[in-house]
A = this chain, B = another copy of it.
């Protein structure tokens, strides 16, 4: 037999995984919709001119490029061909690529449809993206992103709603022990100012973002190499290591930032967001200020979010923040300040598996299998199948005449929770045997009683 395989870093999702993934996606989608976000889908294929240069040099390398159709070498430069120069030849033989994230396609959509879109524009998008990364545990070449963004307003209501949405989503998913870490670009800039980082701001952010992973000493070493002196460093770690509640930390910083305008703005925004959450009738449980949070800082200009599920060895499962001008990558002149949040479906899946918290309904199985002992029972079973379906109960009739053992095995392997057994006695009386597979309990019931039992057990 021909050996078949999947490309490295790609996966099939069979029924069991799909049911769980759909549970996650549907839960999050419902929350997005409840907060007024509208769905968008963009094509998997984009022009390379749209993608290239948007993700840095490394990102450009990781784009999957699509070979032009037909005689793609026809107009290729002879010299590049003879030299075997892959780099120079690429743009001549490939015009399209697979999307690398959902943000750039979203920006392109906004630019192309800016006259039709009503701003503020709240969109969500849940689609796969592709990266020619080296596959490893938890890192795939094809994976889903799940983003919600509002563009066209700088209202901090959006930040507060992101916190509320995260909480709503996690409640639907049944995840209770998690932290929403928040920082603000202004606070980071304030920190850089007061410790005198000057031009070295970004080196500072890169280093402290690693604090979690490499620890204080290594961060210090790295910063010394970037010409931070001991006085800078001691001031820095005095601030980073300040312990206390979010409120205490913020009060401490507010004092320190009396000379930093950026720092003050950060504190003000941060406090405003927390107070808006309370204005919505919510609370700030799970919310933690984290001054060392510095993800995506080349992009984010206001609040920065990151969500971690506690007690599982999985990185952040959600993240986002405010950015200044979404469409700047396309040189668009409109002000399109926005704020976005992204949920990592794969990591949430892994965490929920580890915590064993997928609910019973996250199953792709039918609810009932109808089994039959002879041809008359089979014929009788057809009607029963349809009666169940009319009540929106997912039901199957075993399609072949087969030994009852084989039919039961089918239900068992497919984790179908209820089996109806029909034999000549059942056909005669209309009283059927219902077997609950989990317990093995059997009862003799009318079809109406069966429907009631199943609906109340769903």
Alpha-carbon gap, A81 to B88, bound state (A): 14
Q: Are A394 and B4 CB-contacts (below 8 A) given A93-B67, A399-B155?
A: no
When each residue 111-129 of chain A gets 1 if its CB lies under 8 Å from chain B and 0 otherwise, what string results? 1110010101011000010
Number of residues in A with C-beta < 8 Å to the partner?
112
Q: Which residues of B contact A168 (CB under 8 A)?
A: 389
Q: Which residues of B contact A379 (CB under 8 A)?
A: 279
Q: Are A130 and B45 CB-contacts (below 8 A) given A40-B13, A90-B67?
A: yes
Q: Is the CB of A109 within 8 A of B12?
A: yes
The verdict on A66 contacting chain B, using a C-beta distance below 8 Å, is yes
Q: Is the CB of B365 within 8 A of A38?
A: yes
Alpha-carbon gap, A46 to B141, bound state (A): 12
The interface-forming segment of A69-77, A204-212, A251-259, A432-440 is A69-77
Q: Which residues of B contact A90 (CB under 8 A)?
A: 67
Q: Which of B86, B122, B332, B393 contacts A74 (CB 8 A)?
A: B86
Q: Which of B44, B61, B279 contacts A44 (CB 8 A)?
A: B44
Q: Which residues of B contact A10 (CB under 8 A)?
A: 43, 45
Determine which residue in A2, A331, A399, A413 has the highest number of CB atoms from chain B within 10 A of its CB, and name it: A399
The verdict on A400 contacting chain B, using a C-beta distance below 8 Å, is yes
Q: Contact residues of A with B, CB < 8 Å?
A: 1-2, 4-7, 10-15, 18-19, 21-22, 33-36, 38-47, 49-50, 61-62, 64-67, 69-74, 76, 78, 81-82, 84-87, 89-90, 93-96, 98, 108-109, 111-113, 116, 118, 120, 122-123, 128, 130, 132, 141-142, 150, 153, 155, 157-158, 164, 168, 276, 279-282, 330-333, 364-366, 379, 382-383, 385-387, 389, 392-397, 399-400, 409-410, 413-414
Sample of 29 A–B contacts (CB below 8 Å):
A1-B111, A1-B333, A2-B331, A4-B108, A5-B47, A7-B95, A12-B40, A12-B41, A34-B392, A34-B393, A34-B394, A34-B395, A35-B395, A36-B394, A44-B130, A45-B130, A45-B142, A61-B70, A67-B94, A73-B86, A74-B84, A82-B82, A118-B409, A118-B410, A153-B399, A153-B400, A164-B386, A279-B379, A280-B383
